[in-house]
Amino acid sequence: MPGAARGLDVGMSASVMPALSVLDLVPVRVGQTSAQAVATSLGLAARADDLGYRRYWFAEHHNMPAVASTTPPVLIAAAAARTTRIRVGSGGVMLPNHAPLIVAEQFAALEALAPGRIDLGLGRAPGSDPVISHLLRLSGTTSDVDKFPDHVRDIRSLVSAEGATVQFASGGTYDVHATPAPTSVPEVWLLGSSDYSAQLAAALGLPYVFANHFSGEGLDRALGLYRSQFQPSDALAAPRTFLTANVIAADSAEEAEERALPQLRMMARLRTNKPLTPLESVEQSTAGAADFDGMATSIMTSTRAKWFVGTGADVQAQLTEFAARHGVDEVMISPIAGAYDSESMDAAAGRIRTLELLAA
């Protein structure tokens, strides 16, 4: 079982394994269909449930050939139907892409489907390029990034039993509810990789997740701001945070390093503005090594240094030290193990094995 939690946001002994959760971008391999990729991730969610992981979140990304997690609420509903215990949620919904009422209604419905198991992680990044952002944000003023704090407050009100009240300039009010009669509400988290999101979460008294898997830059500063500026709220009495991490565990260190290659090459393409493709297999990544220039190779090296890759025991030790160093009792892993040519398109052997080894 993944390590048990020790309170909310506390320092930990270096010998205590943190609780583990999963972040899923629903990766798509070369030759794999969207249906196969989604089915694979739902199977992974069921396995995480069996293994005792704390939560399973789906990210929101758009128009990327290697990522099928475009609609977190749909994936969350499917995962909730295939699990019994684990919390399921968004990591996150990119709020400027959506009207707050729609988000509130979707997650109120999810909470009705799986009471007490729904997390609503909210972010303000677009999750794609400017063209896609424009297409997603044709809803007028609801797409104004500057209104993100107001829209977070609106969603919290809308999903509550009391609902929200619209005030008309001419006088009078109008009550709005995301669902008629809620018995519980989704837990709202703010996500981000900047000072802004950390400070907003602190000001609103909400739990906060730093997107360490994205780059890792600014982690200590963001956590410091969140903890030092936190204002208790009706949602949370004290700071509560955990961290994300890119992780691959395998039966040997050599296999783990091989399974890291497809994602490393995708990150190099992304950061050098090369055309994106579905994820290569390990063999394709190895054969294509000569295609990359020095800059791409350097990006791969620096990126790999921030990941947790190795045998199960090695990665467990790395994650335990990582959690203790930053004073958190939970780490959300993004299991990014690539696949070999011989492996089925209907499963993700490397990702499943990562979860199994870390839960041992």
Q: What is the pLDDT of residue 130?
A: 75
Residues across the chain: 360
Which stretches within 92-174 are classed as H helix?
100-113, 130-136, 148-159
- 96, 143 Cβ separation under 8 angstroms: yes
The yes-or-no verdict on residue 301 having pLDDT over 90 is: yes
Q: 197 — phi, psi (to 5°)?
A: -65, -35
pLDDT value, residue 250: 98
Residue 143's pLDDT band (cuts 50, 70, 90): low
Instruction: Find all residues with CB under 8 Å of 323, minimum gap 6, and list them.
Output: 12, 18, 243, 329, 330, 331
Q: Give percent above pLDDT 90 in the chain.
A: 80
- Non-local (6+) Cβ contacts of 237 within 8 A are none
Give 15 or 44, the one with higher predicted confidence: 44
Q: Which pLDDT tens digit goes with each residue over 215-264?
A: 778 999 999 999 999 999 999 999 999 999 999 999 999 999 999 999 99
User: Rounded CA gap, 295 and 162, in Å?
Assistant: 55
Confidence of residue 360 (pLDDT cuts 50, 70, 90): confident
3-state secondary structure 256-275: HHHHHHHHHHHHHHHHCCCC
Mean pLDDT of the 290-295 span: 85
Classify 213 as helix, strand or coil: coil
Q: What is the pLDDT of residues 108-133, one digit of tens each?
A: 999 999 999 999 999 987 656 778 77
pLDDT of residue 93: 95
Question: Which candidate, 354, 321, 312, 329, places its Cα nearest to that of 48?
Answer: 354
pLDDT tens track for 73-119: 999 999 999 999 999 999 999 998 899 999 999 999 999 999 999 99
Query: Which pLDDT belongs to residue 137?
Result: 66
**What mean pLDDT value characterizes the chain?**
92
CA–CA dist 90, 32 (Å, integer): 24
Residue 232's contacts (CB-CB under 8 Å, 6 or more residues apart) are 205, 238
Q: What is residue 227's predicted lDDT score, i.e. its pLDDT?
A: 98
pTM: 0.93
φ/ψ bin of 47: left (φ > 0), alpha (ψ from -120 to 50), beta (otherwise): alpha
Half-sphere exposure for 33 (CA within 13 Å, toward CB): 4
**How far apart are alpha carbons 34 and 37 in whole angstroms?**
5
pLDDT given for residue 279 in this prediction: 98
What is residue 128's predicted lDDT score, i.e. its pLDDT?
A: 63
Please say whether the dihedral angle defined by the alpha carbons of residues 34, 36, 40 and 46, taken in this order, is positive or negative.
Answer: positive
Task: Yes or no: say if 204 and 233 are a contact pair by the CB < 8 Å rule.
Answer: yes
Average of per-residue pLDDT across 19-37: 98
